[in-house]
Structures are given as structure tokens and as C-alpha cells.
Structure 1
Amino acid sequence: MDPLSVIQNIISAAQYIKSICDQVKANKQQCQRLSNRIEIILSPVKTFAQNPASIRPENLAALNDLVICLGDCRTVVHDFYSANWAKRAFQNQTDNETFRKLNDRLSASAQQLSLSLDITRVFDREADKKDIEEDLADIESKLNDIIDMHQQTSQQIDNLAQSVDQMRVQILAQLSTKKEEVKQMDTGFKIDVQIINSSSLLIDRMLGKGGIAQVYVARWDSEMVAVKKLNVPQMSQKDLKDFYNEANIMYRTRHPNVVLLQGIVQEPDNYMLVMELMDKGTLLDLLRSTEDLTWSKRFNFAIDIASGMAYLHKNKIIHCDLKSLNILLDRHETCKIGDFGLAKIRLNSTASLASVKIEPVHTVSGIRWKAPELLQPNGKFTKESDVYSFGVILWELSERKIPYAEAATDGEVTKLVIDDKVALEASCPPKFQDMIRNCTDRVPKFRPSFANICGTLDALVRDEPLHPLPVALTGAAALPPLPVAKPVVPMEDNPANRRIKNQKFKEFWINYWGPNTVSVDWADFFDCLSDYLIRGGLREFNEEEIKQQFGIIHGKVSMNSFNTRTQELSSLKELALQKK
């Protein structure tokens, strides 16, 4: 290394040592003394930089030794500047031997460089002893402070450990008491549902969670199901009562548009509702998505919900919390009504809003679907209040927005609804708008029943085709609209009439799909038959014949019937090709 570079390294090391000396945590006097001596040596060294030619080989060797020495000085001083100084000070006390060796090396370097310095005065041993004594006293004081702090911390940890132990004992006692209460509460509720053993459920993943429950996807007897699991430690007697109430209501309802309850788990540490899995999530999520929704699909959603609610009301069940978040969709996008946690069985009285705690969910409070009369003191849940909620859902189907989005809080929503400041106007077909107005009429008695709503929707779909017919699978243009089947009196059930009805359906099939259709499957047949029944065929087939058409035997879809229907599809395809 050339002389100038060596000198620059010496200057850099000296400057760094000086910059941190005032901030060292221990041995401050000895570090400061060392820095001062380096500064004294540095002054004559800088003269070499002004006249590099005067540097002799022995001077260069001495300068290199000084670079190494200053590097070691820098390391020692930095150790007492860093955070782990206490460990070094405790292990090595004042490092007086280290400082003595560094001072000796500095003194030797000064002598080798033949610097005009008074070495004895600069490296005064008595001054070193005084520095050691002061540093020892300082370290002893700091170590005593550390020991005191450690003792205080240990005492605090001991106190905290005692508090944690006491809290643990209290929690265990409370948990034990809670379990006993739950066991005692079990005997107070009658339940008439299938009991499922929790060991038969294989939990897959969590779908969501609320205040006292989580919802999971699970496998049960080779079937994927949804499991609503309650948090037992957080359950009150009312929570358990609501659990059994929801189970009883769901289990007694058997309808294509109501979520099916398979059974419940009823164990000391496990309370679960086991339900059919709704793959497509909630109607709320679908409406907030960017997925394209035809008016045909929206009408189908409305028919699904109205059909399910008509069934519930016929069985004297008031839902009390009907909203798009509680409408679930299966893999075929059939809407089903779920979440009966607030539902009431209507006997001779109605439930009061004041007695039911309505919790905000999904960041959109359920109050946006509540009828105006429920927002008044002592408001009563009725069939008509369910109809109002349905009207709000119809508005959502049209607009795909949050109801009363301009209101930021529940209080603002309540004021808007009670004061009748905002009407739920929608940009939709006129008859659909009429239905929204009728369902959300401020006077409950003027709202239609769900039975009437189903009839109105059926007439709308039957008399006014809402979407173009399917395009042939070959990619041909859409066929012209089908003639609407006229209502007829049900035919007498005999072999001749059955042949006539089957032939009429086959002709409808050919017109529906067109002669260019290459292949069809079970879902195509299902769609076509459903459309045929809605457009008038429903009045030709009796209930038993409709079940047979869909392959339903004793309430279940028969695989033999499915295979038979598949063969019929092949025949229909051949018939279509012949007609071509």
C-alpha cells in the first residue's frame, strides 16, 4: 500500500475513535485517554502526507504497524460503545490489561516514527492508574443498578406468574361451572332431529365466523357439508335456546328453497348444526360481484326466494331476518333460505323486535332490510314484515347495490325509513317495479302474501319471455321465441293421454333446442322440462307425473330413472335429426 493510503487509514481510524468516545457505556476515562494520545501522535504523522518523499522505508513499516494498532483500538472502544458493553465489562472488569497493551503499542509506534514527542509525559502511568480507578467505580455503580433492576424485574415476573396462576384457576372454575350449566340446560329443551357424532365429521376449512359461532366445510359420510359450530365457553342459556330453536325449525322444513339441516352434534364441548353445503355463497356476494346477471336469472332468484318463504309462512314460520346475506346459492345457483337463528314459530302471538338482538353482519347491518313498523317502539315481527324484507331483496336484484347506501349508520337508515324520505325506486321492468312497491308498502296489510307473490311471478315468467332462447350447440343463431303454451284442463290419466302429453313435450323439445342440436345432457333436459312446465305444461301434468318426469321416486332422484331419461334424450336427438 502506498504511503498516502496508509496515512489516510490512520486518520480515518483516529477520527472514528474520537467520534464515539463520548458515547461509550463503560471505561470512559481510559477510552478518552486513549483517544487523546492518538490525537497527539496524529499531528506529526500528518506532516508525512505533506512531504511523501521524506518517508523512509523504516517509517513506512512503522506507519503500517500504527494502522494495525489503531484498528485494534477502534475494536475495543466500539465494544464499550455497543449494546453488549455490560457483558464485556462484567467478564473483563476494566480491561486494564488490554488498555495497557494498546498504550504500549502506541508508544512504540511513536518511537519508531522518531516523532518529536515527550513519550514519558504523553504516556503517564500514574494517569492510567487514576483512569482505571474512576472506570472501576463507574462500572461498579452501573452493575449495581443492573442487579437492582434485575431483582425488581424478577419480582414483577413472580407477581405476574402468581396472577396468571390465580386467573387460570378462576377460568378453569368458571369453565367447569359453564359446562355444568350447559349440561343442565340440555334437559330443558326438546329436540327432534338426527343426532350426529362429531367423530364422523372431518373438518376441511373455515368459511367464516361470528360472535359465538364459526362455519366450516366438512366431510360427513362421503358428503361435503357445512358445519356451524358454537363456542361453548361463550354460550349463554339464550344462545343454547336459539341453537335448539334454529335446529328445530330447520329440521322440520323440507323444501327445495330452504337450506337442508342434516342433523346436529350435541355433546358437552360440541354444539353444531350440520347443513347442506351451498357452494356458490350468498346472494349478497353475488349481487356485489361483477358477474353478469340476466333478467331471467334474477326472476328465477325471486321465484326461489318467494317459494321458500311461502312454504315457511304456510307452516307458520316467520323468518325475522330475511336479507340477501341469508340467501344462499347451491352449485346450480338455486336460491335457498338459511340462518334461522332469529326465526319464530307463529302461534297466537308475534315476536317483538325489542326482544331480539339484531347483530350487524358482513359489514352491512340487517336493519336495512327491516320494515318501518319494526323500527318503531315495540315493533312486531309478522309475515308482512318478511314480505317487506323480500321487497328490499327484489330492489337489490334490480340495482345490485346496498339498500340506502347513502346512509352511513343504522341511525341514518332508521330515520330515512321511518320518515319515508327515500323510496326504493329501481331501473327494472315495470311489473317488477310494481312488485317492489307493493312488497314495500308502508301499510303492512296492503302488502301481498308470498302465495300471491309466487302467482304473480309465475304469470310474469310464463306470459312475458324474459330472455332469448338458447343458441344451438353448433353455434347457430338464436331461434325465434316459442309460442306460449295455453292453459288447459289437466287430462285424464290414461295410456292414450300419456302418449299425447309425451308427444307434445317431444315437439316442444325440438322447437326449444332446434334441429341442429348435436348432443344434450341431463342438465339440458332439466332446463327444457322446467321451461315447458312454467310455460303451460304445469297445467297438463299432475304432481305424480311431474315427479316421474324428473326421475323422483319416493322423494329422491332414482339413478334408474336417470338412466332411462338419458336413453330418452338419445331418442329425442334422433327425432330432431329426422325432423331436419
Structure 2
Amino acid sequence: MEALGNVLQIAETIYSLCEKASSNKQQCSRLQKRIQMLLLTAKQLRKQSDKSEDLNEVLMELELTLRNARCWVAKYSQRAWWRKVLQANGIREEFDLINDRLKDAAENISLLMVAEQRGNFLEFFDEKHRKRQNQKDIDDDLKDLKDYLTNEMRPICDKVDHVAEKLEDADASVNHILKQMEKLTLLSLEGIRTPWNIAELRVTDLKRGELVIEKPTHYLYRGEYHKGPVAIKVLKGQLIKDQDFVKKTFQAEIKTMKKFECVNILRLYGICIDNSKSEPCYSLVMEFCEKGTLRDLLNREKALSWMRRVHMVLDAARALYRLHQTELKAILHGSLSSSKFLVDGTYCLKLSGFELSKTESSMRKSANAEKRKESIEWAYIAPETLENINAYDKRSEVYSLGVVFYEIASGKVPLEGLPAPEGNLDEIHQKLRAEVEAGLPSDCPAVLCDIIKKSVESDPNNRLTAGVIVDLLMSHLNQQDSRPPSPEASV
């Protein structure tokens, strides 16, 4: 079985790199053990000829995941890794993605095992247990990094003291250098993500700033929370007075929302209930994305580089993968489009449009009456859903995501000006397919063209999963990182 041979060969390289690791040692060790468990089981299953075809399919997908894992270990297992953090934010995000993909492989392999063996095998890849282990590993690695930086900086500090003795303006020089060193240390820790803490916020902790936009259901303000920028969504209309009901709904919903913790999911800080007036004022507080929606950005900035666009496509794919991968029963967004992705100051995409929806509904006397009657965005709806509204699943959302990918690659509004269809709904899909074929720029990276076309396939079974899309894009970017720098082409 060629696929198994390729996987074993890549795994051996990963093991070798992990054993030589001088940074992120705990995470490397844990990664090695998970891969070994997968491959030990795969070797045993290979002996069963009736399962070889299904196993081969799993291994082919696993091969790409392991190639990305090998790149991660090569980049971040040496002492010099902290310098790379200055240019590569999200070390933990990348590591979590690799481990999530290994979990996917484990679930697929478990389907080939006898029932009584599955439990113990999958327990090794349990998400909650794994994330607790990962956090401990990160804490240990972070302590190791701090010790290393301290030892590295001590000789520099000694030299600074020596030079300072000979300078007239010694105090100013020393302070300047120490501030620069402190700044470097903080920058080197950017890859460590702080966990979400969604809570009920006090009015006094929030500072409301300028009004960004007013909609029929709410006002959106730019604000501050603990001196950090946030977006404050203040609800309008007839609001419910039963605050205990609102708080109970909120506490139940945040348990689900915390499972979505990801750099590409819009971060939520919590709710705020202001009782200073006769009627309660409810606000939702979330991450502020200064560049607005993805659609706004694409309209405004026409000359984004291909590297930037590929990273944005990866962000969108990672967000959807986080939703689809969170539970055994997939969590669906329900209305994906370019307006549901917000863009922060670093061009990082954040998926929104589903956060605390139950809590917001609980705040209103009549949720349906307050909802804005929006026109249906037909271009994003998969053909099977157009035919049957109940035929909506993960593959339908991949179709919608493929349309968003097309927007990012082309900068165009898909099927712009299309009126509400009458009669033949399949015509929408045919028009979109034709536009994708004609509208993709000639210099669009091949991997991106392929992903877009496969994502909007007519047959749901021919579409890629969000996990495979993430693997393909990460692999493409890893290959770009390994090449000599060259000028970036723009659309």
C-alpha cells in the first residue's frame, strides 16, 4: 500500500525532528505520540484485505496533514523559533488545526475497527482531554521560552551597563534599550493566544465611542473594554424585562460558544445589562474589526496580493472547519456569505452572524417582528438546498464557502444584480459555474482555482470538506515559505 509507505516515511522525519526539539518540546512529544498511535492502528488494519481500499483513502488524506505537521515541527522545534514568531502569528492555532485533523483521521480509522476497540482508541484523541494537555504543554513551553530569553538577554544587559557607565546620558540610553528588549519579548509571545472568557460585563467597564452604523435591530458603536477596542451592539426595539431569563439563556449559550474558540471566529466578550434607566438596555460586546466586512474590503481594496488572498481564504476555511469539527453532529452556520466575515487590522477574517443568537432572541419581546427582512442571497445557496430546503448540511456550507472563495480570488460580487429566480432554480447554479469558469483571473494560484471549482460542484459528494481545504492551503503556504522570496503578484 503506497499511501501507508508515504505516511510512514513522513512520520519518521517528524519523529526525528521531535526528538531533537529544543523548543516546544512538550507539544512535539505529544504530537509524536498521537501520530504513532494512528499509524500503529493503520498497520494492523492493513492486514485486513477487505478494508484496504477505505484505509487507503484515509491515509491519502492523512499524508497531507502529516506534511503540514512536519513543516510545523521544522519551524518551531528549534531555539530560533521565537524569532519566527515576529513574522508568524498563531503558532497555537496551527498546532491545534494539525491535531484536529489527526482527530478526524482517528475517527475515520475507528470506523474500520471492531466496535469494542473503538472506545479506547478514540479516547486517546478526545478533544477536551487533548486541549487540556495542549494548554499544559504551552504553559511549560512558555516558561522554557522565558528562561531562554532571560539567559539570552543577561549578557546584553551586562554590556548595556558597561556602555552606560561611559555615556553622559546613561539613564536615557539604558531605559531605551531595556524598552526595546521588553518590546521584543512581548512580540515573541504573540503566537500564544489568550483563552476566551465570555461573561456578564459591568457598565462601568465599558466605554462607548462613536456610532459606526445603525440598523433596524441595533446600533453598533466602537468602544473600549479594559482599554482594548471592542464593538458594542446596543439592541433596539421592544426588549424583555425578565433579566433572569436573559441571564439563564446567556449562561447556557456561552458553554457552546466557548467550543468555537478560534482566531477566525469573531471573539465575544459578553453581554452588558444597563439598568440606569426605566427600561433595561442590553448590549452584546465583541471583537472590533476595523476593516469592516469582507465584501466592503474587496470593494475598497482592489490590488490585494495573491499571498494575502490565499491567507484570507485559509482564514475563512479555518472558521468553517472549527464549526463543523466541534461536535460529532456538525454545527452549521446557516447563512454563509462575504458579509458574514469581518476583517481586522491585520486582514485576518473573523466569521460572525451566529454568536449569542439565542441570548439576543431572549432579550426581545418578539424576535421575529424585530428581524430585518433581508433579500435571500441566492448565489450562496447550494443547488440541493434550492431544490429542497431541508437538504442542508456541511457540504451545502462548503458550497457557500466556495462562492466566498471566488469573491476573494476575483474581487467580484457573484451573480451581481441577479433578480429573485422564478421557476428554474437550477439556472442559478449553472450561471454561477459559468461565472467562476470565466471570472477567475488567469494568474490565480492553481491550488486556489482547484479548491473553488471543487467547492461549487453540483454533486455534494464531489465537494471537498473544510478540513481538506485547510490542509491544501496550509501545504501551499508552507511550500511558499520554503522558496526564496520573490515579488508578490497582485490581481
TM-score normalised by the chain length of structure 2 = 0.48
TM-score normalised by the chain length of structure 1 = 0.41
Compare CA radii of gyration and give the structure with the larger one.
1
Higher relative contact order (CA 8 A, sep 6+): 2
